[in-house]
Chains A and B, each alone.
Chain A
Amino acid sequence: MSERRGPWYLFTGVLIGVALGLLIAWVIYPVEYTDTAPFSLRSDAKETLRGLIAQAYMADGDMARARSRLALLQDANPLQVMADQAQRMLAKNINPDEARALAQLAADMQSALATGTPGPGEQDATPTPAPKQSKSKTTPTATLEIGQVILTPTRAPTKSPTPMDTFTPRAPVHASATPGAPFALKDKNKVCDPKLINRLLQVEVHNAADAPVSGVRVDVTWGSGQDSFFTGLFPQMDAGYADFVMAPGVTYNLQIGEGGELVSKIEAPDCKNTDGSTYSGGWMLDFNQP
């Protein structure tokens, strides 16, 4: 009777074996990755690293270093990836400082590319300690124990009265807003251009020296909604530019930066084509600091 059962028991055995094999491979002895490179990181870890690179750039102003760090992530279009990440973070209201840093780095890299000049900090940059394989020729750590690192600390900058060469003042990192001065509306012009996207609300932000300012937060509110975005996220436009597509028949309020002038009752204006037909135009708002 048992001989009539056929070979199904073999199939059952294989299934049990596969389940055991997967349990071993995924749970008991999973593959452990070591000595990996940044480009192999998970996407969320890459985002964390990208944000850290941007914040380090805001701290040291060294674009050469930021550029070489970003290159390790091997993004196809680093500027766009940073801009997208900043927008996502802003939409979810996650760490606005980091979003601002990403926007700033993207804008500075773009402006450096556009002008063909070295970016901030690149001319006087100290040699970047680009990650590399340790040299096998000399092994200065052979006699150095972990615990000794703190026992023989390098002098902290605050305790060192001797200025070091790397403290040379650097060129300004980027055009920045004048601290404390709120942005005010300078011009508001109706834009009737059928080639543009309909109902486009364009914003240009300049500082007191009339230089475009990137990384400035723009808050837009309407009826029951709100949105925020930063200037400088469009690589093809100048650093102080941002835009927003309005919905038909909706009235918007807009504010630039902290405590900036509130521009209210913004609606898409009606424009006329040459044949007399109408379409929805947009606005160009120009803000500056006194």
Chain B
Amino acid sequence: MRLVRLIWFLLSIALGVALGLAYGWLVKPAGYGGTQPASLRADYKADYVLMVAEVYQKEGSEALAAHRLAELGSDPLIRIVQEAILSARQLEYSQRDMDSLAHLAGAMQNWAPAPTQAGSTP
């Protein structure tokens, strides 16, 4: 009798897991309120990077450009720009846009965040 109860108990847990998974994956998945720029399709990401490049050409601030690019994920910034350039080539962006992207890529290749004032080591 105890074995029968144990089996039913395990079955009820399995049913609960199934219900929880269905709710958490299908009904109300994580990130339900919307997605992040990092999940954008490659062509939208390329356009995003192009906008950053256009603004960078006007402002000339590597730090601001890096801050904006960081919205597209945790990959190295130079890689994000490189992937955008590849997409831009596929999508046949104009030469002017390709130049903007290349200009940004050059800046991100050499850019490094300013070192923060960490506590001095003894």
Contacts and interface: CB of A to CB of B under 8 A. Distances in A.
A17 B17 contact: yes
Contacts of A133: 43
Interface string A201-244: 00000000000000000000000000000000000000000000
A20 B39 contact: no
Contact of B94 (A21, A58, A129): A129
Interface stretch (A34-42, A77-85, A261-269, A280-288): A34-42
B35 A41 contact: yes
A14 interface: yes
Contacts of A115: none
Contact of B43 (A24, A55, A131, A167): A131
A31 B102 contact: no
A18 B20 contact: yes
Interface string B40-63: 111110111011101101110000
A49 interface: yes
Per DSSP, chain A at the interface is: helix
Nearest to A138: B90
Given A22-B24, A42-B34, A129 B93 contact: yes
B81 to A, nearest CB: 8
A20 B13 contact: yes
B90 A141 contact: yes
B117 interface: no
Given A9-B5, A149-B105, A131 B20 contact: no
A157 B34 contact: no
Nearest to A7: B8
Interface of B: 1-2, 5, 8-25, 29-31, 33-37, 39-44, 46-48, 50-52, 54-55, 57-59, 68, 71, 78-79, 82-83, 85-103, 105-106, 109
Which 6 A-B pairs have CB atoms at the shortest separation, nearest pair first? A21-B20, A17-B16, A25-B24, A13-B12, A42-B34, A30-B30
19 contacts: A2-B1, A12-B9, A13-B13, A14-B15, A17-B19, A17-B20, A18-B16, A22-B20, A31-B30, A33-B36, A35-B42, A37-B41, A49-B48, A69-B47, A72-B44, A149-B86, A153-B102, A160-B99, A164-B96
Nearest to A158: B103
B101 to A, nearest CB: 8
Contact of B40 (A9, A37, A129): A37
Interface in A33-80: 33-38, 40-43, 45-46, 48-49, 52-53, 55-56, 58-60, 69, 72
Contact of A146 (B48, B83, B90): B83
A14 B55 contact: no
Given A13-B16, A35-B39, A156-B103, A132 B58 contact: no
Contact of A156 (B37, B78, B102): B102
A165 B105 CA distance: 23
A21 B24 contact: yes
A2 B38 CA distance: 55
Given A52-B52, A59-B58, A155 B36 contact: no
